[in-house]
C-alpha cells in the first residue's frame, strides 16, 4: 500500500509542475493577444485606404491590369497559407490547413493548376510529410510578424502575378488565414487578393454606391496601378499575418486554460486516491497493532494458567 501512495504522490507532483507551465503559457498568450489586437487595428485602415485607392483608379479608367482585370480563361492560381510555427494551440493550424485543402480542391476542380506558398512551420511540416510540392515557404516570425516579413512573403507572389502563365506566372492570388473575431472565436477564411473584385473592394472600403471623383492620371492609370500593386499585396499579407498571430495567441490561451483546468481536476482526483490509500494504510497498521496486542494478550493469559 505504501508503494501505491508514493506513486500517487509522484503523479501529483508531476501534474502540479505541468499545471504551473500551462498557467504561465496561458498568461503569456493573454498578454500577447492585446498587443496583436492593437497591431491589427492599426494596420486595417491602411489596407482599407489602399483598397479604396485601387478602386478609384480602376473605376476611373479602362486600363487592363493584373490588379483589377480577370484573365479570359484563368489556368493557374497561387494559394498563400498562413499557419503557426509552434503547436499547443488546439486546432488552429489544422483548421487553416483544412480550409486551404478545400480551396485547392475547388480551384483544381475549375481546371486550374495551384502553386502553394506557406507561412509557418506547421504547414510546411504537413505538406512535407505528405510529399506535396510547395513553391516557397517562410517561418520563424508567425508569433510577432513585421511589415518586413510581409514584404518578404509578398515579393514572390507579386512576381508570380506579373509573369505570364506560360512562364510560370499565375492568374489569381488567394490567401488562407485565420481571422480574429473575438477572444473565443477565430475563423479560417479564404480571400482572393488578385484580381481584385471591384464590387467587393467597394463594399469593404465603404465606397459601394458612392460616386467617386474623377481623376486625371499622370503619367497613366497603368503606372499608378503598377505602383499600387506591391503596396496592396504587402498590406493585405501584413494584415493577414497580424490577424493570424492574434488568432494563434487566442487559441493558445484557450488551449492552455483548458489544460490548466484539466490538470487541476486531475490533481483533485489523485489527491482523493492518495488520501484513500493513506487511510487504508493507516487502517491496516491499526489492525496489525490490534491483532498483535490481542495475540500477545492471549499468549500471556495462557502462560498464567
Question: What are the pLDDT digits (tens) for 30-78?
Answer: 888 888 888 888 888 887 777 777 777 766 666 676 677 777 788 899 9
Name the domain count of the chain.
1
In a domain, 197, yes or no: yes
CA distances from 115 to 37, 80, 174, 250 (A): 31, 9, 10, 30
| Residue 182, domain extent | 26-255
Domain contains 268: no
CA 129, 75, 190, 98 dihedral sign is negative
Full-prediction pTM beyond 0.85? no
pLDDT tens by residue, 182-200: 888 889 999 888 887 655 5
Structural domain includes residue 232: yes
Closest CA to 89 of 239, 257, 243, 238: 257
Cα–Cα dist 268/252, whole Å: 24
β-bridge partners, 119: 82, 138
Res 204 pLDDT > 70? no
Residue-level pLDDT at 260 = 92
Q: Is residue 276 part of a domain?
A: no
- The pLDDT score that the predictor gives to residue 128 is 93
Segment 164-171 mean pLDDT: 84
Q: What integer pLDDT is reported at residue 304 of this predicted model?
A: 59
Question: Is there a domain that residue 292 lies in?
Answer: no
Q: Is the peptide bond before 3 cis (omega within 30 degrees of 0)?
A: no
Of 193-197, 219-223, 267-271, 287-291, where does mean pLDDT reach its minimum? 219-223
Residue 291 within any structural domain of the chain: no
Per-residue model confidence (pLDDT) at position 88: 85
CATH number at residue 71: 3.40.1380.10
User: Is residue 261 one of the residues assigned to a domain?
Assistant: no
Residue 38, in any domain of the structure: yes
Amino acid at each position: 500500500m505504501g508503494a501505491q501512495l508514493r506513486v500517487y504522490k509522484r503523479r501529483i507532483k508531476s501534474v502540479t509542475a505541468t499545471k504551473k507551465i500551462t498557467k504561465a503559457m496561458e498568461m503569456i498568450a493573454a498578454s500577447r493577444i492585446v498587443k496583436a489586437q492593437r497591431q491589427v487595428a492599426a494596420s486595417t485602415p491602411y489596407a482599407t485606404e489602399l483598397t479604396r485607392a485601387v478602386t478609384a483608379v480602376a473605376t476611373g479608367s479602362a486600363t487592363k491590369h493584373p490588379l483589377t482585370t480577370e484573365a479570359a480563361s484563368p489556368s493557374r492560381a497561387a494559394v498563400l497559407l498562413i499557419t503557426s510555427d509552434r503547436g499547443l494551440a488546439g486546432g488552429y493550424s489544422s483548421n487553416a490547413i483544412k480550409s486551404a485543402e478545400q480551396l485547392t480542391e475547388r480551384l483544381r476542380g475549375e481546371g486550374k493548376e495551384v502553386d502553394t506558398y506557406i507561412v509557418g512551420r506547421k504547414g510546411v511540416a504537413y505538406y512535407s510529410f505528405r510529399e506535396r510540392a510547395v513553391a516557397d515557404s517562410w517561418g520563424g516570425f508567425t508569433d510577432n510578424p513585421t511589415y518586413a516579413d510581409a514584404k518578404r512573403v509578398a515579393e514572390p507572389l507579386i512576381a508570380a502575378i506579373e509573369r505570364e502563365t506560360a512562364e510560370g506566372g499565375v492568374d489569381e492570388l488567394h490567401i488562407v488565414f485565420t481571422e480574429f473575431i473575438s477572444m473565443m472565436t477565430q475563423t479560417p477564411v479564404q480571400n482572393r487578393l488578385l484580381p481584385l473584385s471591384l464590387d467587393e473592394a467597394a463594399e469593404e472600403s465603404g465606397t459601394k454606391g458612392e460616386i467617386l471623383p474623377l481623376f486625371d492620371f499622370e503619367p497613366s492609370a497603368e503606372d499608378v496601378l503598377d505602383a499600387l500593386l506591391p503596396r496592396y499585396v504587402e498590406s493585405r499579407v501584413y494584415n493577414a499575418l497580424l490577424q493570424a498571430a492574434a488568432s494563434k495567441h487566442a487559441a493558445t490561451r484557450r488551449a492552455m486554460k483548458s489544460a490548466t483546468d484539466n490538470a487541476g481536476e486531475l490533481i483533485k482526483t489523485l489527491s482523493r486516491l492518495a488520501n484513500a490509500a493513506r487511510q487504508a494504510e493507516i487502517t491496516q497498521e491499526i489492525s496489525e497493532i490490534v491483532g498483535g496486542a490481542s495475540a500477545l494478550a492471549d499468549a500471556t493469559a495462557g502462560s498464567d494458567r
